[in-house]
Amino acid sequence: MAIGVVRGWTGRALALATALFLGTSPSALHAGGKLNVVATTSDLAALAIEVGGDKVGVSAIARGYQDPHFVEAKPSFLLNLRRADLVVAVGLELEAGWLPPLLNQCGNPKVQPASQGYFDASQSAEILEIPAGPVSRAMGDVHPMGNPHYWLDPANGLRIATGLAQRLAQLSPGDAAYFQARLEDFRKRLGEAERRWDERMKPYRGRKVITYHRSWPNFAKRFGLQVVDFVEPRPGIPPSPGHLVALMARMKRENIKAILVEPYFDLKTPQSVARETGGQVVVLMPSVGGNKDTGDYIRLFDYDVELVARALQTDK
Ligand SMILES: [Zn+2]
């Protein structure tokens, strides 16, 4: 009990010191009693809103239609980070090109990596494609620590939400029961949605698909698809003509028709591959809010599952 009191005062003293350091009042740090959450992506922001409800104010850095590997820094991001109580990041170096400089410059000690105000969502999630040995540039540019597109499995969404509920409760202990109730409600709605998605995808389990980038291993594993090849030979490396010739030969040989692509990649190459092979390009949305039909985490899967099912339905 005594320790709790000491800790409480230490926390308050730190908050006050932070506030003075930043030249803002403590009330500005917790406007309306809300925790300020900055998520690096719209998916993590959506999960923070699911759990945090009206006890959090959430903003996202990367938009749902943007390539999260490459985000241009804007002054507004620094302002949001300066006021943040919690930063939620994908981790696994997805944001390696742009988040560290923003954190360095924001002048907010509370949200630096390894502090309580920094939540690395990858530590709550199942991660695929973790390299077994040493990593070299030859393996590609962007996935050196395992696949960072892990939010595209609803089980990982629930794991991340669970981790977020714990972290939000640590930052705002008085709201712990509220966060827990929101988490349980999300778990229930997600479970209902998963039954719907499973039903829709059932006829297509085991089907082979091609993807442009390695964004979909968690999605494919969850819904029983086999991603057998990629338009990009390695993450972040554009395809050579030789690679495309081999890819098209394989698609014809194995009767693979669907090429799953994110909207921010150049569609010309996948479209010409599809033309040559009698296949089709399926432009999936990899992140919440990429268009008007993907406004929250569950609707993102509603959208993608329906597009994949329709594509596999027409391919025979
Ligand atoms: Zn990637």
**Residue 29 and residue 10: Cα distance in Å, rounded?**
17
Centre of ligand 1 to C-alpha 216, Å, is: 9
- Confidence (pLDDT) at 316: 55
Q: DSSP characters for 229-270? A: EESSSBTTBPPPHHHHHHHHHHHHHTT--EEEE-TTS-SHHH
Centre of ligand 1 to C-alpha 94, Å, is: 7
**In what order do the strands lie in the sheet containing 86-89?**
56-60, 35-39, 86-89, 118-120
Domain boundaries, the chain: 15-126+140-192, 194-314
**Residue 66 and residue 74: Cα distance in Å, rounded?**
14
CA atoms lying within 13 Å on the CB side of residue 316? 1
Which tokens hold the place of 48?
């923070």
Q: Which residues are paired to 281 by β-bridges?
A: 259
- Confidence (pLDDT) at 12: 36
**Residue 253 and residue 308: Cα distance in Å, rounded?**
21
CA 217 to chain centre: 13
Which tokens hold the place of 24?
């803002």
Centre of ligand 1 to C-alpha 13, Å, is: 41
292 burial class (0-12, 13-18, 19+ CB within 10 angstroms)? exposed
**Residue 30 and residue 133: Cα distance in Å, rounded?**
45
Centre of ligand 1 to C-alpha 285, Å, is: 14
- Confidence (pLDDT) at 144: 82
* For the chain, the helix, strand and coil percentages under 3-state DSSP, each to the nearest 5: 55, 10, 35
Centre of ligand 1 to C-alpha 146, Å, is: 10
The beta strand positions in 31-164, using DSSP E, are 35-39, 56-60, 86-89, 118-120
**Residue 143 and residue 93: Cα distance in Å, rounded?**
7
Centre of ligand 1 to C-alpha 300, Å, is: 18
| pLDDT tens sequence across 138-173 | 666 668 889 999 999 999 999 999 999 999 999 999
Report residues of the chain scoring pLDDT below 50. Answer: 1-29
- Confidence (pLDDT) at 28: 41
Centre of ligand 1 to C-alpha 207, Å, is: 22
- Confidence (pLDDT) at 133: 78
Centre of ligand 1 to C-alpha 251, Å, is: 23
- Confidence (pLDDT) at 315: 56
pTM: 0.88
- Confidence (pLDDT) at 3: 32
- Tell the CATH topology of 15-126+140-192: Rossmann fold (3.40.50)
Q: What's the distance, Cα to Cα, between the start and end of the chain in Å?
A: 67
- Confidence (pLDDT) at 88: 98
Q: Which residues are paired to 225 by β-bridges?
A: none
Centre of ligand 1 to C-alpha 236, Å, is: 7
Centre of ligand 1 to C-alpha 232, Å, is: 11
Centre of ligand 1 to C-alpha 166, Å, is: 28
The beta strand positions in the chain, using DSSP E, are 35-39, 56-60, 86-89, 118-120, 208-211, 226-230, 258-261, 280-283
CATH architecture of 194-314: 3-Layer(aba) Sandwich (3.40)
- Confidence (pLDDT) at 141: 63
**Residue 224 and residue 207: Cα distance in Å, rounded?**
8
Centre of ligand 1 to C-alpha 10, Å, is: 40
Centre of ligand 1 to C-alpha 234, Å, is: 10
Centre of ligand 1 to C-alpha 257, Å, is: 22
DSSP, collapsed to helix, strand or coil, labels residue 146 as strand
